[in-house]
């Protein structure tokens, strides 16, 4: 296995690919999983907008991470209240309607979607997760979605990964998915995201399947999310619908190789931020020498979410002054050593590369944090000012 062979998917210089990773056809799901999709009229132009993902194995270990947004959408509340996150067998997803801020009817609609999938697959309702993404505050066309779930359930395929990934996108420029093998196990994963991206304890929609044995899926997912989806921001906005589902059958009889889940989730996270609404570039800001990690995190977020830094990234302007300003805002009231060009390396902002590195040394201690963020462009304004509710 050479580096070139992994380039198709695990291609970012920021992803630490474990030894011996083989990339498989991304349509192919991890053994034991099947998926499919249909077009139900939620999205214009006949695009697929309802997806179904199912695990054939009776015993599956799973973990579900949900947004902390207080305006959480109906599907998130259904997952939180009505599902058993540790034994999720299947997931029903629509793209086109977030089913957020839709009241009691919205909750009933998310339940109906969930129940339709459970019925069609012969599963207990508590073993089915439901995820939705799209416009907020519009009633769901539940009859179409329920009918679509029935249709999809009859044509699920072991090679349905690409179809499923295509059915969950909204303003994404491309679907995001992969299938990799290493150490005798297989991992497949699909994600979507583009705007409203600064996950809090979870992220955009993301589904990960494997035949590896994972004894504590919740811990495994939390730890990998902390190093991937929690490290990105497009516009500083926590979504109402974020969800990540990890499912492991254990049928391979082996554990996940160290670093594999991290690599897959980080690559997907980087694809999400690179596909941020209107984005042309991604930067990685690394803050070192903070008083503690929390302080470094605060400074990194202030920099990554500053519209002045994000427009400098777009304009290829090595404007370290804006980085000093954002860091100083995050440290308001503190006495700090002045942040000049000796402490801020912003030269990469001016590079022609699509990926830029920014380094900040606060000189206050040994705390550190890093974040990946996209630029703020004319297209971000166009997409969000011309989008009609």
Q: What is the dihedral of CA 303, 245, 112, 167, to 10 degrees?
A: 70
DSSP label of 255: B
Q: Which is closer to a copy of itself, CB of 149 or CB of 202?
A: 202
Q: Which residues 6+ apart lie within 8 Å of 185 measured at CB?
A: 210, 211, 212, 252, 254, 255, 256, 257, 260
Residue pair 94/145 in contact (Cβ under 8 Å)? The answer is yes
Q: Which is closer to a copy of itself, CB of 157 or CB of 347?
A: 347
Name residue, tokens 């939705």: 132
Residue closest to 225 by CA, chosen among 79, 98, 369, 64: 64
- Expressed in percent and rounded to 5, the helix, strand and coil fractions of the chain are 35, 25, 40
Enumerate residues 140-199 that contact a copy of itself by CB under 8 A. 195-196
By three-state DSSP, how is residue 152 classified?
helix
142 an active-site residue?
A: no
Strand spans (E) along 183-268: 185-191, 205-210, 232-233, 243-248
333 is an interface residue for a copy of itself by CB under 8 A: yes
Q: Which is closer to a copy of itself, CB of 71 or CB of 366?
A: 71
325 is an interface residue for a copy of itself by CB under 8 A: yes
CB of 337 to a copy of itself, least distance (A): 10
Residue 61, phi then psi, degrees to nearest 5: -95, 130
Q: How far apart are CA 288 and CA 359, in angstroms?
A: 8
Residue pair 166/43 in contact (Cβ under 8 Å)? The answer is no
Q: Which one of 100, 121, 185, 204 is in contact with a copy of itself (CB under 8 A)?
A: 100
39 is an interface residue for a copy of itself by CB under 8 A: no
Q: Which residues 6+ apart lie within 8 Å of 223 measured at CB?
A: none
Q: Which one of 237, 293, 345, 365 is in contact with a copy of itself (CB under 8 A)?
A: 237
CB of 313 to a copy of itself, least distance (A): 9
CB of 284 to a copy of itself, least distance (A): 20
105 is an interface residue for a copy of itself by CB under 8 A: no
| Listed ranges 22-30, 38-46, 204-212, 314-322: which one lies at the site for a copy of itself (CB under 8 A) | 314-322
133 is an interface residue for a copy of itself by CB under 8 A: no
Q: Which is closer to a copy of itself, CB of 100 or CB of 369?
A: 100
Q: Which is closer to a copy of itself, CB of 8 or CB of 329?
A: 329
CB of 153 to a copy of itself, least distance (A): 30
Q: Which one of 41, 183, 255, 321 is in contact with a copy of itself (CB under 8 A)?
A: 321
CB of 79 to a copy of itself, least distance (A): 16
- Angle, in degrees to the nearest 10, between helices 103-121 and 142-153: 20
Q: Which one of 5, 8, 16, 103 is in contact with a copy of itself (CB under 8 A)?
A: 103
Give 22-72 as a 3 state SS string: EEECCCCCCCCEEEEEECCCCCHHHCCCEEEEEECCCCCEEEEEECCCCCC
Q: Which is closer to a copy of itself, CB of 234 or CB of 261?
A: 234
**Which of 171, 203, 233, 249 is labelled catalytic?**
203
Residue pair 22/267 in contact (Cβ under 8 Å)? The answer is no
347 is an interface residue for a copy of itself by CB under 8 A: no
Q: Which one of 334, 351, 353, 366 is in contact with a copy of itself (CB under 8 A)?
A: 334
CB of 252 to a copy of itself, least distance (A): 37
Distances (CA, A) of 272 to 198, 278, 373, 374: 11, 12, 10, 10
139 is an interface residue for a copy of itself by CB under 8 A: no
Q: Write out the two tokens for 82.
A: 């009505």
365 is an interface residue for a copy of itself by CB under 8 A: no
Q: Mind telling me the catalytic residues?
A: 203
**Binding stretches for a copy of itself (CB under 8 A):** 68-72, 98, 100-103, 135-137, 195-196, 200, 235-240, 306-308, 311-312, 314-315, 317-322, 324-336, 338-341, 376-378, 380-382, 384-389
């Amino acid at each position: 296995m050479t580096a070139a062979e992994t380039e198709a998917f695990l291609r970012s210089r920021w992803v630490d690919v474990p030894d011996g990773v083989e990339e498989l056809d991304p349509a192919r799901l991890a053994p034991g999983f099947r998926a499919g999709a249909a077009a139900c009229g939620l999205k214009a132009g006949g695009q697929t907008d309802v997806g179904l993902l199912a695990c054939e194995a009776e015993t599956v270990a799973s973990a579900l991470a949900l947004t902390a947004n207080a305006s959480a959408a109906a599907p998130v509340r259904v997952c939180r209240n009505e599902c058993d996150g540790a034994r999720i067998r299947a997931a029903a997803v629509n793209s086109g309607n977030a089913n957020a801020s839709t009241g009691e009817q919205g909750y009933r609609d998310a339940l109906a979607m969930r129940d339709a999938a459970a019925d069609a697959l012969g599963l207990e309702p508590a073993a089915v997760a439901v995820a939705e993404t799209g416009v907020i505050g519009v009633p769901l066309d539940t009859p179409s979605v329920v009918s679509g779930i029935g249709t999809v359930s009859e044509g699920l395929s072991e090679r349905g990964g690409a179809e499923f990934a295509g059915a969950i996108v909204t303003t994404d420029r491309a679907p995001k998915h992969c299938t990799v093998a290493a150490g005798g196990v297989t991992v497949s994963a699909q994600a979507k995201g583009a705007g409203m991206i600064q996950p809090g304890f979870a992220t955009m929609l993301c589904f990960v399947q494997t035949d590896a044995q994972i004894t504590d899926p919740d811990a495994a997912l939390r730890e990998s999310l902390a190093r991937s989806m929690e490290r990105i921001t497009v516009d500083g906005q926590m979504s109402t619908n974020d969800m990540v589902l990890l499912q492991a059958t254990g049928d391979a009889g082996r554990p996940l190789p160290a670093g594999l889940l991290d690599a897959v989730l980080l690559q997907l996270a980087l694809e999400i931020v690179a596909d941020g609404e209107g984005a042309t570039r991604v930067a990685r800001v690394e803050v070192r020498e903070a008083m503690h990690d929390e302080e470094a995190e605060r400074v990194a977020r202030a920099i990554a979410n500053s519209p002045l830094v994000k427009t400098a990234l777009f304009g290829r302007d090595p404007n370290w002054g804006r980085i000093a300003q954002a860091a100083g805002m995050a440290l308001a009231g503190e006495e700090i050593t002045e942040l000049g060009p000796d402490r801020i390396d912003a030269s990469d902002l001016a590079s022609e590369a699509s990926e830029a590195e920014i380094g900040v040394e606060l000189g206050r201690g040994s705390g550190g944090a890093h974040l990946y963020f996209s630029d703020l462009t004319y297209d971000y304004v166009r997409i969000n000012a011309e989008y009609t509710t």
